[in-house]
Amino acid sequence: MIYDKIILGAGLYGLYSAERCGARGEKILVLERDATPFRRATYINQARVHQGYHYPRSYSTAIKSAKYFDRFCKDYDFCLLKDFDQVYATSAQFSWTDADEFRKFCAAAKIRCDSVDPEKYFQPGLCDGAFLTTEYTYDAEMLKKYLLDKLALLPNVEIAYSHKPESIKQAGSVWQVKAGDITAEAPFLLNATYAGVNDVHQMMGFEPFKIKYELCEMILCTVSPAFKDVGITVMDGPFFSIMPFGRTGLHSMSAVTFTPHNTSYEPVATFDCQAHSGGLCKPGDLYNCNDCPAKPESAWPYMSRLARKYLREEYGFEYHSSLFSMKPILKASEIDDSRPTVVRKFTAEPTFVSVLSGKINTVYDLDEVLDNG
Amino acid sequence: MAEHKEKNFISAVVYLNNAQDAVVPFFRTLNERLDARFEQYELIAVDDRCTDDTVGLLKEWAKDLKKPLTIIHMSLYQGVEIAMNAGLDCSIGDYVYEFDCPQAPWPWQMVDDAYDTAMKGSDIVSVCPDTQRVSSKLFYKVFNANSRSAYQLRTDAFRLVSRRAINRVHAVSARLPYRKAAYAASGLKMSDLLFKGTVSKQNEGRFGLAIDSLALYTDAGYKASLGLTGAMLVLALAELMYTLAVYLGGAPIEGWTTTMFVLTAGFAGLFALFAIALKYLCLILEFTFKRQTNLIEGIEKIQK
């Protein structure tokens, strides 16, 4: 079959691209190795629609985030949870940024930052500043349903689940992709596989993105009534965050010191646990960590202790479940904490583009390459 | 067996300053003890600028450790109080063991005993040697005599504090220049457990700490200045009487030496008061303006 574009990965970036191009009549094939869409990073993350607060050490990322924030909120308003108090706090100890810095940063990035008494939320002495901010959380399930409904109206867009590309070859001016029973060709190939990005590069013989991999756990919690409409993020140092998880009624919890269970610095994700995955996962062929039989034990005892140390008793939370995912982090950005979107065009005629972004609302970075090739 | 283990999360903070011979045996035994008793715990080592192989040996040992070990590297040597405060800030446990040095002149059973005592309602449990050095004795004598707290302090080898106690002392003041005294002043229940023996001599810099602690946690400074004021008052009264006597006696210009004496003594007393006031001012200055309480180079997390 000949298509206009073949897209690898049915996460938000893949399906957004399929919808955008499909809507103007292009013939699109989406290949997804998992059995359903949105099974990895799009679902398994904090569901934060970034306004930029997260990056007090990188102004450029913050300003870009703020710009896309408005657009994302307009386009996907239906899946957002907006009416909760998103509290950012600076830890009194072990932090590289403090309350004054944060205030200055927000003023420069022109984003909301209203001081509140840290002791309203935190144990005395642990945070030197707390701020009410505007930040939303999206519901991945609702977003998925919306995109699938839109795509269902486009007969020119096909999505093949449980199809993992086995070979990708150039045949003249098109890419020829083999995935199970499908052999497809297109002059444009988009690699939107996130943590699998370098797996595809390796298969095609392209230079890998310079990334490290972190096997991360996100814990879903039920919370006490006082916590229901509150999201907490303690920045830097002993970073942790507990905030509403879309419109699910649950809160997501993560903590930097305990969330990454393991780190790999190889070009393709290489972990000890792969040996115990029963052949499902290996370097260059990354399986879904959340579905994997070799996923690590939960860090709940540690994460919960860290959060309880900071939070006042009335902000209670209990374990609901754990979600695991592989997070690729661009190495060059390690120092200034920014996680920009990388959209790199490796070849033209046929076109091969890889995208890597850690944030949901920077999906618009794809527009240019999708529209102009 | 896991279901028999204690559910409370425990942190153990250990101060390290060039202790390459002691570090591994200490951590090994400590880890075995905690592992036998507690389901969840963490180890925190504060590396106060070790120049020997202490940290290297510790890391080597920690390779097979199941529980997390955090190593806090201080930027420069800052002494046990500041370094241990950094360790304490980093700890997340419901209860925190504070070991000021990686030596155990006490029987290891005391680690369990301290926890048992805490479970009976003590927020702070100090494990103390039954013999103290002379200088320590003197310090604690002055301290306890002037202290505002309900509990008597003494030399201790290690202690166990609850998160409640840590929160309480932080609510009182952001900094803890002398942890022990801050805990004692917290108003929470404090218990002492005694063992036979002594503790090895602490590092230098204790004298300055002793003076600061007396000024901060006791009213010794206030009492001293009160005493001086009293003495000067007596002196002034005596001079008045003398002047009266000379006046009544009708004796002529004799008072040169006495006047001088009173003047110098008065000024001496005044200067002594200034010294005390200055001491307080220094402390206020430090508390108000020195916001960064410790300098940390980096934190390393070692965990499976």
Q: Does residue B47 sit in the same domain as residue B128?
A: yes
Measured between CB atoms, which of A94, A258, A301 is closest to B89?
A: A94
pLDDT band at A323 (very low <50, low <70, confident <90, very high): very high
pTM: 0.79
Is B272 contained in some domain?
Answer: yes
B66 falls within a domain: yes
Is residue A336 pLDDT above 60, yes or no?
no
**Which one-letter amino acid corresponds to residue B297?**
E
- What CA–CA distance (Å, rounded) separates B68 from B90? 13
- Chain B 87-146, residues with CB within 8 Å of chain A CB atoms: 89-90, 92-94
- Give residue A220's domain range: 5-372
The residue ranges of chain B whose pLDDT is under 50 are 1-2, 290-292
Same domain, B237 and B176: no
Are B188 and B111 part of one and the same domain?
A: yes
Q: What share of chain A is helix, strand, coil (3-state, %, to 5)?
A: 30, 30, 40
CATH number at residue A145: 3.50.50.60
Structure confidence at residue A252 (pLDDT): 96
Q: Is residue B215 part of a domain?
A: no
The pLDDT value given to residue A197: 94
Asked if the C-beta of B39 comes within 8 angstroms of chain A's C-beta atoms, the answer is yes
Which tens digit of pLDDT belongs to each residue from A146-199? 999 999 999 999 999 999 999 999 999 999 999 999 999 999 999 999 999 999
Question: Would an 8 Å CB–CB cutoff place B174 in contact with chain A?
Answer: yes
Q: What are the b/e assignments for B162-193, b being 16+ CB within 10 Å?
A: bbebbbbbbeeebbbbbbbbbbbbbebbbbbb
Identify whether residues B182 and B232 lie together within a single domain. Answer: no
Structural domain count, chain A: 1
Of the listed ranges A7-11, A48-52, A137-141, A166-170, the one predicted with least confidence: A48-52
Looking at residue B286, its pLDDT comes to 65
Cβ separation of B92 and A124 shorter than 8 Å? no
Return the DSSP state at B66: S
Residue A125's pLDDT band (cuts 50, 70, 90): confident
Mutate to test the interface with A, among B7, B65, B75, B92 (most CBs of A within 10 A): B92
On chain B, the residues whose CB falls within 8 A of the CB of A101 are none
For chain A, first and last CA: distance in Å?
A: 20
B145 and B261 both lie in a single domain: no
ipTM field: 0.72
A147, A19 contact by CB (below 8 A): yes
Q: What does the block give as tokens for B221?
A: 């400074």
Q: Is the CB of residue A220 less than 8 Å from the CB of residue A336?
A: no
Residues of A in contact with B39 (CB under 8 A): 301
pLDDT of A257 > 90? The answer is: no
Domain assignment of residue B211, yes or no: no
The domain that holds B12 is classified in CATH as 3.90.550.10
B241 and B171 share a domain?
no
- The reply to whether B38 and B155 lie within a common domain is yes
Tell me the nearest-neighbour CA distance from A121 into chain B, angstroms. Answer: 14
CB atoms within 10 A of CB A219: 25
Best A90, A91, A93 residue to mutate vs chain B (most B CBs within 10 Å): A93
* A253: chain B residues, CB-CB within 8 Å: none
B193 lies in some domain: yes
| Residues B73 and B197 placed together within one structural domain of the fold | yes
Domain span holding position B224 = 220-289
Q: How many domains does chain B have?
A: 2
Residue B261 to residue A162: CA distance in whole angstroms:
101
Give the model confidence (pLDDT) of B73-101 as tens digits: 998 888 888 899 889 988 999 999 999 98
Q: Do A93 and B90 touch (CB under 8 A)?
A: yes
A274 three-state secondary structure: helix
